[in-house]
C-alpha cells in the first residue's frame, strides 16, 4: 500500500504527496487496480512519457499476481504523434506495448489510439471522439503534466472546451521530448491529442508528477487562474480529480 506523507484539498483537487516516484506508482496503481476490481469493464484514459511508467509496472504486478485482469478493460490513449507508424519505437503505441500492453491480458481490440496514419487527421480525431462516446466515456484518466502545464498535448494556449484534434507541438515540448529521439529534427512536429474538453469529461482524473522539474508546473496548475495559457489549471474545475506527487514535484506547494 502507498504511504501518503501529506494529504489536502485545493479547489476541488485532492492532493496526495508521497516520498518518491516509486511510491507515486504504487499509490496510483493501487487506486486504478481497485477501480478495475469494482468495474472490470472500466474505460481508462492513459498517458505516455516517463510519468506513468512506475504506475504501469505496478499494474503489471497486480496482473501477474492474479489480483486484476484487463480482459474487459478498454483503453484510450491521450495522444499520439502525427504522422507516425505504430512500429516506430518512438510512437506512443510502441511504448505502451513495451511498458504495459504486452505484459497484460488486454485484448488488442480494446486498445485505442488516434489513427496517426490517417490521411485525414480531422476524420481521425472525430472518429476518436465517437469511439470514446460509444464506449460510454472515460471512467478514469491517468495523466501527466508538461513543463508548460500541457495535459496530453494541449499546448498553451489551449481552450477548455477543445476536443480531439491535430496540434503543432511547441518548440519547448519538441526539445524536451528529443531525449527519446536521435536528434531534435526527428521529433515529429505534430500530434493528435484529446482536447481539454475530452479530458475534463472523464469521470475521474488522476494526475501524477515526480521530480523537481515539475514543481513549477504543479504550482501553476494549482495556483494560477484557469486560462488558456495554463492548460493544467483547468483541472481545478473538475469535480473528481486527484494529484499524486512525489515530494520534489510538490516542493513549491508545501
Ligand atoms: C503524454 C502526455 C503528456 C505527458 C507530459 C509529461 O501522453 O499526456 O502530457 O504527460 O508531456 O511527460 P513526462 O511524463 O515524460 O514528463
Residue-wise pLDDT tens digits, 234-254: 999 999 999 999 999 999 999
Segment 115-140 shows an average pLDDT of 97
Q: Is 109 a catalytic residue?
A: no
* Ligand 1 pocket list (CB less than 6 A): 47-51, 78-79, 143-146, 150-152
* Distance from residue 64's CA to the centre of ligand 1 (Å): 26
* Distance from residue 150's CA to the centre of ligand 1 (Å): 8
**Ligand 1, pocket-test mutation among 55, 93, 145, 181, most atoms within 8 A of CB:** 145
* Distance from residue 49's CA to the centre of ligand 1 (Å): 5
Q: Which atom of ligand 1 is least distant from the CA of 79?
A: 7
Backbone angles phi, psi at 43, to 5 degrees: -105, 120
Q: Global pTM?
A: 0.97
**Ligand 1, pocket-test mutation among 24, 45, 49, 248, most atoms within 8 A of CB:** 49
* Distance from residue 208's CA to the centre of ligand 1 (Å): 10
Q: Is 224 a catalytic residue?
A: no
Local structure of 145: helix, strand or coil:
coil
- At 2 the pLDDT is 72
Q: What is the layout of strands, in order, in the sheet containing 165-168?
A: 79-82, 190-193, 165-168
Checking if the pLDDT of 103 tops 90, the result is yes
**Percent composition of the chain: helix, strand, coil (DSSP 3-state, to 5):** 35, 20, 40
- At 172 the pLDDT is 87
pLDDT confidence tier of residue 82, bands split at 50, 70 and 90: very high
Segment 51-77 shows an average pLDDT of 98
pLDDT confidence tier of residue 173, bands split at 50, 70 and 90: confident
If one counts every other C-beta atom within 10 angstroms of the C-beta of residue 64, the result is 11
**Ligand 1, pocket-test mutation among 25, 48, 196, most atoms within 8 A of CB:** 48
Backbone angles phi, psi at 17, to 5 degrees: -110, 130
- At 180 the pLDDT is 86
- At 9 the pLDDT is 97
Q: Is 185 a catalytic residue?
A: no
The DSSP symbol for 239 reads S
Q: How far is CA 71 from the centre of its chain?
A: 21
Q: Residue of the nearest CA to atom 3 in ligand 1?
A: 152
The rounded mean pLDDT for the chain is 96
Q: Is 155 a catalytic residue?
A: yes
d(CA 17, CA 3): 9
* Catalytic residue of the set 77, 110, 148, 154: 148
pLDDT confidence tier of residue 146, bands split at 50, 70 and 90: very high
* Distance from residue 189's CA to the centre of ligand 1 (Å): 16
| Span 177-230, pLDDT tens digits | 898 888 999 999 999 999 999 999 999 999 999 999 999 999 999 999 999 999
Amino acid at each position: 500500500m502507498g504511504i501518503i506523507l501529506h494529504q489536502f484539498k485545493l479547489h476541488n483537487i485532492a492532493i496526495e504527496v508521497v516520498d518518491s516516484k516509486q511510491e507515486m506508482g504504487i499509490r496510483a496503481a493501487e487506486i486504478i487496480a481497485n477501480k478495475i476490481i469494482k468495474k472490470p469493464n472500466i474505460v481508462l484514459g492513459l498517458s505516455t512519457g516517463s510519468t506513468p511508467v512506475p504506475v504501469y509496472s505496478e499494474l503489471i504486478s497486480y496482473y501477474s499476481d492474479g489480483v486484476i485482469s484487463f480482459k474487459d478493460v478498454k483503453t484510450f490513449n491521450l495522444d499520439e504523434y502525427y504522422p507516425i507508424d505504430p512500429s516506430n519505437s518512438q510512437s506512443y503505441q510502441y511504448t505502451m506495448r513495451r511498458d504495459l500492453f504486452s505484459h497484460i491480458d488486454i485484448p488488442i481490440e480494446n486498445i485505442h489510439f488516434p489513427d496517426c496514419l490517417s490521411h485525414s487527421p480531422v476524420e481521425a480525431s472525430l472518429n476518436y471522439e465517437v469511439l470514446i462516446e460509444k464506449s460510454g466515456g472515460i471512467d478514469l484518466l491517468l495523466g501527466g503534466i508538461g513543463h508548460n502545464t500541457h495535459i496530453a498535448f494541449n499546448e498553451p494556449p489551449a481552450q477548455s472546451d477543445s476536443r480531439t484534434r491535430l496540434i503543432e507541438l511547441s518548440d519547448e515540448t519538441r526539445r524536451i521530448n528529443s531525449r527519446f529521439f536521435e536528434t531534435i529534427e526527428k521529433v515529429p512536429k505534430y500530434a493528435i491529442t484529446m482536447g481539454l474538453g475530452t479530458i475534463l469529461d472523464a469521470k475521474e482524473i488522476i494526475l501524477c508528477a515526480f521530480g523537481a522539474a515539475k514543481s513549477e508546473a504543479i504550482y501553476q496548475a494549482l495556483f494560477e487562474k484557469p486560462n488558456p495559457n495554463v492548460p493544467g489549471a483547468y483541472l481545478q474545475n473538475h469535480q473528481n480529480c486527484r494529484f499524486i506527487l512525489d515530494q520534489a514535484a510538490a516542493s513549491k506547494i508545501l
